[in-house]
Structure 1
Amino acid sequence: MKKYPLLFSLFSPVVWAETVIEHNTDPISFERHSQAVKFEQNVVKNSQKPTAYQPAYSFNQNVEQQINQAILSQDWATLEPLLSRYPQTENFDPLLWHYAHAALAYAKKDHQTAVFHYRQLLAKNPSLVYPRFDLALILAEDQQFRAAEQEFKAIQAHLPPELAKIARNTQAQIAEIEAWQPDFYLQYTQTDNVNNASSSPIVNVNGRIFRKNADSLPQSAKGVRYGLGLSKFHNVKGNHFAGLTLNYSGIYYWDNRDYREQSVSVSPSYSYRTADYRVAFSPFIEQNWLGSSRYNVQFGATLNGLRYLNSQWLVSGSFTHLQKRYFEELTASRYNSYQHQLSGGVQWQAVKNGRFFANLNGVREIAREKAQSSNKWLARIGAVFQGERWATQASIGFGKRYFADKHYLFGYKRLDTEYQANLSVWNRTWHWRGIVPKLNFRYQKIDSNIADFYSRQNKEVFFTLEKLF
């Protein structure tokens, strides 16, 4: 029997907010687990090395041979009816029955049932090494790391060299997953609209023309975006995990320091993780600076999850409640607010090295000044492709933002239409100590019915250096 090391997919909850800087716009890494267990059941002796339970008797040879053959050939449609009548046969072997049910359950990706039957088998005969080894792999694949380690520990002195190596590799993967995970990115950026201003030099208020001063027009800036994060999660018991994420990020403009930004955030989390789905709850708090002054503080909580429908399809969703508090008194009197953010997404693994994704996000913001309250939705579609050397990721987005009350100057409600485009290209062979250079293009355009104030566009072509740990 040939065994394979496990491949684990990680999902780290990210607080989605309107002002977030996405240095990696791929929301979720779509990587299904490789099959950790290949069941082999042989009654008769042959040259192939057995890797699991073998019945000690040869009674009911015909039914047992059929069950064994069905397992070896992975003929699950045949196995199921065989198991239903096997308990009525003479000299029924409960160990074989539990083992076959475990194989059938695992084929259906029903990890819970597979674990149940393995535990029943081992309760009857605790000395069986190979079933306990397979149980440990299934537990690890189902994210039950502590239970998997207990099973490995119980048989580590009895495993043959090739299986001992797989056990050590799996335990090393678990230790690596639960270690502190660093994240780093650095980006040179140049923009001609750092203040997100409309390029119109005038404001037409019901026929009255006002001319903007220089500070109200788009301003250019050059600098770097940067980010450093640390995250960790730990399997406490069963499928229950505790986690912590720390992030520090910002933008440093050396020729327009008034628009420098810094952000520090802390987010503990609880998650329930299995091979097929994840659910996580993450409270958070974030402090932001603009220039050299504290700008606002944001806090709230996110509930999110994902589910693998099969080897090709993944769905995800999240809900966030967010509170914003500004430090400047006049700004706070208008913009202090709370938000409800709802998002959903789907990914399709169309080919081995390529996938498509689609996301729909909605935000309801209630601000102190009713004219600043709004409802917003944004839809985005994209694709990721990774060849042997080159990889690319592209997405486009479209959205609307509806404001709740009339603008204080213009006397009618503001309505914004948003367009987005993102493109990243990188060579998978170009890296140094895990640092990968990427060429990026980002475009954003907002068409507002109050164009003189709020219509704007931003185009950026920039390099990033991202650390892949």
Structure 2
Amino acid sequence: MCLSSIFYALFYDLRNNRFLTALLVTALFIGAIPATAAESSALNQQDLPIYQLNNLPEPQQYQHDNSVPTPSAVHTAAPTQQLLKLEQHILPTVLQQMKKGEWQAAKQALTPLINHIPPSLHGLFLAGQIAEQQQAWQSAVSYYRKMLAIDSSLHRPRLELANALAKSGDIKAAEYQFNLALSQKLPQAVENNVFSRLQHLKDQTTYLNFHFSLVPSSNINQGSSRQSFILDGKEYFLTESSKAKRGLGVQWGINAEKRFGQQYQWFVSGALLHSDFPNKSNDQTVSRLMLGRSFGTQQGHSLDVALGGHHVLYQHKGLYHGGVLRLDYSWRIQPDWRLALSWESQQLHYRPQFDYMRGWQHWATAKLIHLSQGRTSYYWGVQQGFNRAAEKSYAYRTLSWQSGIRHHFDFQQLTLGGHLSYTTTRYLAADPFFRTQRQDKRWNVSADILKRDWSWRGFSPRLSFHYSDNRSNIPIHTNQNKQVRLTFSKEF
């Protein structure tokens, strides 16, 4: 989850508010990054505009087969002769115990197959099925993940993994695994079943996520990288508060959604995100509450419409609030290709001392997502933003190009992701102090790493690295920031 804000305090008196360069909350408010669910967040993580209190994650099984599977249900790589003999000795007994419902005895009998190096795929699969029968969902998840770490092309274990994740309450990760399964060219009947499960998850799910992040940063106050500037032939020096400062920040957030009504077409969603930095240099609290309705046109198409409001505190004082309108359209072009379109309008009702920044801002986003071979996801996006502040010197247009990739490695069950974006921003009138029309160009690069089998009391970690470089024709707005995020998250 990612929140970044730009608050510029120039060298002149802050009480002279009319000449503040900008007091723009720029929240990339992505909500949860669950670590099993962190897998699912990569494609949503950079969805939002550079200067936006953005959208929250949208909430979303394969009919569980209660029959006892045979080892042939899993396609396996050729095991060693020693492992084959062990399987021939143990599996018949285990299958008989499972048919009788003797789950604990069957589980113990599988121990030699699971502990064998390499482990038996048949043994892992049956252990996962036993764990599901005992409703030990996290254990089932662990067994299926171990199978996919050996061979990520396996269909049935991935579907069972998605099912177990959904049962455990990790809805986002379950949806992500079902989508990965769809990229593997499933038989038509199975594919239709997966579509049905995805719709079921979206329609009937209550979603709650909590995440906590440690954020060491090279520029906690988004200060300028310049020491001075020239104006009318004179050199002016920036105050210390206007320069970049290093520090350690803390962020935490909650995201939730509840479906209700006939056919679960209605939903209420909310989010709260708080960031805390040394000396209150960039402390913020961002909240949002939305009421919406889903319209399912036909299989592969969906439309969500939501109305609500948002509120932003800066340094523990109200900064702005207002209404929000959001539309989300999704079209699954192919099982492994999806197009996502969105429109969001936000009212920015600033407190009276910043009334010249009041107005509306609008964001249009298009994103194409491709999932390949059950292990790699790509996305390409473009975003156009319009801010209509009361004074044109604070209004702007922005255009952002985005791309990202995420790959699941078999080695150590690692998942690596990367994101790149380039944004241009042009203000509509000259800055009142510098008497020139501001233009910015901004690069954002990020990479993250996730170990899929790590979890502590349901909290899963994700490590990410971020770098941003903003270049402006008004020198004091030029800045860079290097940031590391260690995030722990859990779904309830």
Where does 1:209-358 land on structure 2 (aligned, <5 Å)? Answer: 209-234=235-260, 236-237=262-263, 241-253=265-277, 255-273=278-296, 274-327=298-351, 329-333=352-356, 335-358=357-380
Match of 1:70 in 2: none
Instruction: State the SS of the aligned residue for 1:371.
Output: helix
Kindly state the Cα deviation for residue 36 of structure 1 after the two structures are TM-superposed: 11
The counterpart of 1:26, out of the listed 43, 50, 60, is: 43
* Contiguous gaps of at least 5 residues in structure 2: 1-24, 34-40, 46-56, 66-192
Rounded to whole Å, the distance in 1 between the matches of 2:363 and 2:372 is 29
Rounded to whole Å, the distance in 1 between the matches of 2:220 and 2:428 is 27
Instruction: State the SS of the aligned residue for 2:265.
Output: strand
Instruction: State the SS of the aligned residue for 1:219.
Output: coil
Rounded to whole Å, the distance in 2 between the matches of 1:449 and 1:420 is 18
Cα deviation, 1:300-345, whole Å, max 9, x if unaligned, reads: 2011111101112100101111110111x33222x11211210000
Rounded to whole Å, the distance in 1 between the matches of 2:234 and 2:437 is 19
Rounded to whole Å, the distance in 1 between the matches of 2:370 and 2:223 is 38
State the one-letter code of the partner of 1:450: I
Rounded to whole Å, the distance in 2 between the matches of 1:258 and 1:200 is 18
Where does 1:379-394 land on structure 2 (aligned, <5 Å)? Answer: 379-388=401-410, 389-394=413-418
In 2, are the aligned partners of 1:206 and 1:410 still within 8 Å (CA)? Answer: no
Rounded to whole Å, the distance in 2 between the matches of 1:373 and 1:361 is 17
State the one-letter code of the partner of 1:27: N
* Contiguous gaps of at least 5 residues in structure 1: 1-16, 38-166
Match of 2:153 in 1: none
The counterpart of 2:478, out of the listed 447, 455, 458, is: 455
Where does 1:62-461 land on structure 2 (aligned, <5 Å)? Answer: 174=200, 178-234=204-260, 236-237=262-263, 241-253=265-277, 255-273=278-296, 274-327=298-351, 329-333=352-356, 335-388=357-410, 389-451=413-475, 453-461=476-484
CA pair 283-386 structure 1, distance change in 2 beyond 3 A: same
In 1, are the aligned partners of 2:252 and 2:273 still within 8 Å (CA)? Answer: yes
**Over alpha carbons, which structure has the higher Rg?**
1
- Please list every run of at least 4 consecutive aligned residues from structure 1 whose deviation after the TM superposition is greater than 6 angstroms: 32-37, 170-173
Cα deviation, 1:366-418, whole Å, max 9, x if unaligned, reads: 11111111110111101111234111221100110011111223322111001
Rounded to whole Å, the distance in 2 between the matches of 1:298 and 1:467 is 30
Match of 2:48 in 1: none
Kindly state the Cα deviation for residue 267 of structure 1 after the two structures are TM-superposed: 0.6
CA pair 232-320 structure 1, distance change in 2 beyond 3 A: same
In 1, are the aligned partners of 2:325 and 2:346 still within 8 Å (CA)? Answer: yes
CA pair 407-175 structure 1, distance change in 2 beyond 3 A: closer
Kindly state the Cα deviation for residue 275 of structure 1 after the two structures are TM-superposed: 3.3
Aligned residues: 315
CA pair 344-206 structure 1, distance change in 2 beyond 3 A: same
Rounded to whole Å, the distance in 2 between the matches of 1:197 and 1:304 is 35
CA pair 440-200 structure 1, distance change in 2 beyond 3 A: same
**Pairwise CA RMSD:** 2.9
